[in-house]
Structure 1
Amino acid sequence: MSPRAEARGTSSSAADPDPTPAAAEDPEPGWTTTDRRDLHRGRVVLVDHGVLLPDGSASRYEVDESVPFAVATLVIDGDTVLLSRQYRYPLGRWILDLPGGAGNAGEEPADAARRELEEELGLVAPEVRPLRTHAVNPGRASWLVHVFACTTPTTAGTADRSDPSEQVRLVRMPVAELDALIAAGDVVDPTLLIARAAAAEQGLLPPVAPR
């Protein structure tokens, strides 16, 4: 259990008749960074942090600082969605996910989303709409993923096929088929799952049918 979880677990006793709701509590103290050293710099940037914990003890924590942020876009065309399919080596399998990638320092997330959409699928998006921002791996990575929706794509762009390890295939799929794959547990990409739910919340797609 983390120090944060332990502190929360002992903040009130079981006999307390009126425990303070978690949402109303004062923010718990965070960790203080005392030093940093690079462990690896490549496509993945891993940095070893020295940290001072709230109880005064010192520790070290390895953080993935590979990118400033990441983006992904759910393309919606009527009752179909346009997804990407690519081989994910760490999983050893082909999966469905969303076109996207790393943003650049100083780049607006929406601009990065449009750029990645064209680079990966050759689709030009006149505009994109924010869906959700989430941390894909908050226990290890420092960066957030900004998820967008696009409802007005064109195919006037040119996909970038220069990297042989990033061969992305365009998949057009009825929303009902995507929902069936999700229900069957065949969609493993968390950002795609989040985008599907957020699009329904914003009225861009129908609610996911209960099964």
Structure 2
Amino acid sequence: MSEKRLSGETVYKGRILSLDRDEVLCDNGNKGVREVVRHGGGAAILAVKDGKILIEKQYRYALGKEIYEIPAGKREKDEDFFVTAKRELEEETGLIPKDLKKLVEIYPSPGYTTEKIAIFVATKFGKGEKHFDDTEDITSEWIDVGTLMQMIGNGEIEDAKTVVALSLWSK
């Protein structure tokens, strides 16, 4: 199965994403319109220490509420996912990962965006310095895996990358 792009335009170009509107020809001969968010992706880090996972809580404007998630951030243009992961973990937590390993790469919403997130795990850390962006207000705490799995089950943790990372790690 595939779809052939017949025409298209970029209807919005922002700092971290763009929105394209394309006309496509489907295999069955029908034409359709696809709106695609082009996004450079990001990296997320499952930081593990003494059987506990570092979880952040921060306000997410798009959702209108605070949510729990593992440390993560946007990738710079053409940046290696490992570089993104190291930078974001130090910026948000002050931890420098010494044994960063990739768990998986995921497309969180493949129906409308090109965003790919690489999820890493780290268990050994050096000491760095936090460097929050001007608009970030993040709190973090180490929580045991059992409690985190309960938080997923009761709907307290709703973030997809965090659910994927914890599910893979808890196996």
Q: Of 126, 129, 146, which aligns to 1:158? A: 129
Q: Which 4+ residue blocks in structure 1 deviate beyond 3 angstroms?
A: none
The DSSP-based 3-state class of the residue aligned with 2:151 is helix
Q: How many residues align?
A: 170
When normalised by structure 2's length, the TM-score is: 0.91
The DSSP-based 3-state class of the residue aligned with 2:39 is coil
Q: Distance in 2 between matches of 1:70 and 1:177?
A: 26
**1:106 and 2:63 are equivalent in the alignment:** no
Q: Of 167, 173, 184, which aligns to 2:154? A: 184
Q: Which residue of 2 aligns with 1:149?
A: 121
Whether the 8 Å contact between 1:84 and 1:121 is mirrored in structure 2 is no
The DSSP-based 3-state class of the residue aligned with 1:176 is helix
The DSSP-based 3-state class of the residue aligned with 1:177 is helix
Q: Of 20, 32, 53, which aligns to 1:47? A: 20
Q: Which residue of 2 aligns with 1:92?
A: 64
Q: Distance in 2 between matches of 1:199 and 1:162?
A: 29
- CA positional deviation for 1:153: 2.0
Q: If each structure's strand is expressed as a fraction of its own residues, which one has the higher value?
A: 2
Stretches of structure 2 that go unaligned for 5 or more consecutive residues are: none
Larger Rg: 1
When normalised by structure 1's length, the TM-score is: 0.75
Stretches of structure 1 that go unaligned for 5 or more consecutive residues are: 1-28, 202-211
Whether the 8 Å contact between 2:145 and 2:170 is mirrored in structure 1 is no
Q: Distance in 2 between matches of 1:183 and 1:162?
A: 31
**Per-residue CA shift, 1:16-68, capped at 9, x if unaligned?**
xxxxxxxxxxxxx201122331111223321112211112232221101022x
- The one of the two structures with greater contact order (alpha-carbon pairs below 8 A, sep at least 6) is 2
Aligned residues: CA RMSD:
1.6
- CA positional deviation for 1:115: 1.1
